Amino acid sequence: MFDDPGLNSLAVTLLTIVAVLGGILGTCTYLILLERKLSAWMQDRVGPNRVGPFGVLQPIADGIKFLLKEDVIPDHVDKVLYIVAPTISVFTTMLAFSVVPFGPVDQAPEWLRFIIAPNMDLGLVFIFAVTSLAVYGIILGGWASNNKYSALGSLRASAQVVSYEIPLGMSILGIALLHGTMNLETMLTDQAASGVMGWNIWYQPLAGLIFFTAALAESNRLPFDLAECEQELVGGFHTEYSSMKFALFFIGEYTHVITTSFLVSVLFFGGWHFPYIAEASSAYAGAWAVKLLVLAAKVLLCIVLVMLLRWTIPRFRFDQLMGLAWKVLIPLALANVVLVMCVLQFGWSHWWLTAGSVLLFIAAGVIGVNASRSEIMGRHQVRATGFSPAVPPG
C-alpha cells in the first residue's frame, strides 16, 4: 500500500485491529441472539422473534436499549474502580485475541494479516497472562460496588479463576513440549503440515478435555458461573451495574468464549486445516478464504457446544467446583505433562501418548469410584456404632 515498509506494516496492523474488533463485537451481539434462540429451542419456546424477521434485528435493538438506558452509578460505590472494572473485563479478553491466528497467516492478502501481533514467541504465555487479568474486572467490579452480594460473587470468582488457571496452563504445557514452541502460529502450521492425524487432539485427548473444562470455568459461564448465580447472589458481581457498563461485562464474557473457542480449535483441532479442501499445501485461488471459513466453522461448533453445555449441566456446588479443580484436573494435567516428557525423553512413538491419556482417564474413573465407595462405607461405619446426632451416646 505504502512505499515505506514501516508505514505499510502499521497500516495493515491498524486495518487488522479494526477488522478483529468489528468482527468480535458483531459476533458477540449475534452470539447473544444465537444463545437466546438456542436456549429457546431447547426449552420448546420460540425465542426473540419480534424485531425483524426471526428476530435478527434483536441485537441491534438490545444495543440501542443498552446505550439509551439510564446509567445509574449508585452513591455508595467507589467511582473510579466501579467505572474501570467493566473496561478491564472487555479490554483484557480482547487483548488476548491479538496473538491468536484467525486464518492462514502465510496466505493472507497483503492488506490484511490474520493475526494482530505476528511471530509472538511467547504467544501462549501472553494469552494466559492477559486473560487471567480479566478476573480483576470481576473482582474490582464486585468490590467497588460496595454490596455484599457483589463482594461474595467476586470472592468466589477469584477463588475459582485462581484454581482453574493451574490446570488450564498445565494442560497446554504438553502441547508446548510436543511442538517445542509457545508460538501459536507455529503450532498451527505444524499440525496442518502433518495432516489430519497431526491434530493434537489425537495425542492429547485428555489435555483437550481438561483445557476445555478449565477454559469454561475461566470464562465464568454455566455450569461454572458461581460468581453470578442468581439464586444465591441476586446478580453476583454485576448486581449494581446498569446499561452499557453491564453490557460490557457481557461483551467481555462472550469475547472470552470466542477466544477460548479459537484456542481450542487452533491448539487441538488443527486450526484452519481440513483434509482435501484446506491442506497446508493447497494454494488455489481463494484458498485463504476457504481456510478462514473452515476455522470459523470449527470455532462456531465449539461455541455451540459451550452453549449446549450451559443449558444441559446444572451449576456446580462450590466445594464440587474446587474439588474438580484441585483433586481431579490438576493431578491429571500434571500426570499428562509427565507422560509427555517421558515420551519425548525416550523417543517413543507419539501414539503412546494417546494410550497413556486413555489409561490416565480410566485411572481417574477407578479412583473416583473407590473414593465414593469408601465415603459411603464410612457412613455405614458411623451407623454401625449406633451414633445418631439426635441421641447423645451412652
Partner 1 sequence: MPIDSQQVTWVEEPDIGFWEATFLPAIVAGLKTTLRHVTEYKPVTKQYPEEKPSLPEHYRGVHRLNRDEQGRVKCVACMLCATACPANCIHIEAADAPPEWPDRDKFPASFVLDELRCIYCGMCEEACPVDAIELTHIYDLTGRTRNELVYDREQLLSIFDKTKDNPRDPVRTHRGKLGPAAAFKELPTVGPATAVPAAERAAVATAPGVIGPDPQTLQGQ
Return residues touching partner 1 (CB under 8 A).
38, 40-46, 308-309, 311-313, 361-362, 364-366, 368-369, 372-373, 376, 383, 386-388, 390-391
Tell me whether residue 76 or residue 380 sits nearer to partner 1 (CB atom): 380
Q: How many CB atoms lie within 10 A of CB 303?
A: 21
Grid coordinates in use for 333? Answer: 494435567
Tell me whether residue 40 or residue 57 sits nearer to partner 1 (CB atom): 40
Question: Cα–Cα distances in Å, from 21 out to 1, 25, 39, 241, 345?
Answer: 22, 6, 27, 24, 43
Tell me whether residue 51 or residue 290 sits nearer to partner 1 (CB atom): 51
| Cis-peptide into 223, omega within 30 deg | yes
State how far the Cα of 41 lies from the Cα of 45, in Å rounded to an integer: 6
Question: Minimum distance from CB of 321 to partner 1 (Å)?
Answer: 13
Whether the Cβ atoms of residue 306 and residue 253 lie closer than 8 Å to each other: no
Question: Minimum distance from CB of 41 to partner 1 (Å)?
Answer: 5
Task: Report which secondary-structure segment, H or E, holds 189.
Answer: helix 184-193
Tell me whether residue 150 or residue 260 sits nearer to partner 1 (CB atom): 260
Question: Minimum distance from CB of 268 to partner 1 (Å)?
Answer: 17
Tell me whether residue 6 or residue 386 sits nearer to partner 1 (CB atom): 386
Whether the Cβ atoms of residue 270 and residue 199 lie closer than 8 Å to each other: yes
Task: Identify the CA nearest to 228 among candidates 167, 155, 162.
Answer: 155
Question: Minimum distance from CB of 390 to partner 1 (Å)?
Answer: 4
**DSSP letter assigned to residue 234:** T
Contacts of 140 (CB under 8 A, 6+ apart): 81, 84, 85, 88, 154
Contacts of 212 (CB under 8 A, 6+ apart): 264
Tell me whether residue 39 or residue 181 sits nearer to partner 1 (CB atom): 39
* Geometric angle at alpha carbon 293, from 291 and 295, rounded to 5°: 70
Question: Minimum distance from CB of 109 to partner 1 (Å)?
Answer: 37
Whether the Cβ atoms of residue 316 and residue 226 lie closer than 8 Å to each other: yes
Q: Identity (one letter) of the amino acid at 378?
A: G
Question: Minimum distance from CB of 54 to partner 1 (Å)?
Answer: 13
State how far the Cα of 135 lies from the Cα of 35, in Å rounded to an integer: 23
Question: Minimum distance from CB of 223 to partner 1 (Å)?
Answer: 10
Tell me whether residue 30 or residue 361 sits nearer to partner 1 (CB atom): 361
Question: Minimum distance from CB of 155 to partner 1 (Å)?
Answer: 27
Grid coordinates in use for 320? Answer: 464440587
Tell me whether residue 293 or residue 364 sits nearer to partner 1 (CB atom): 364
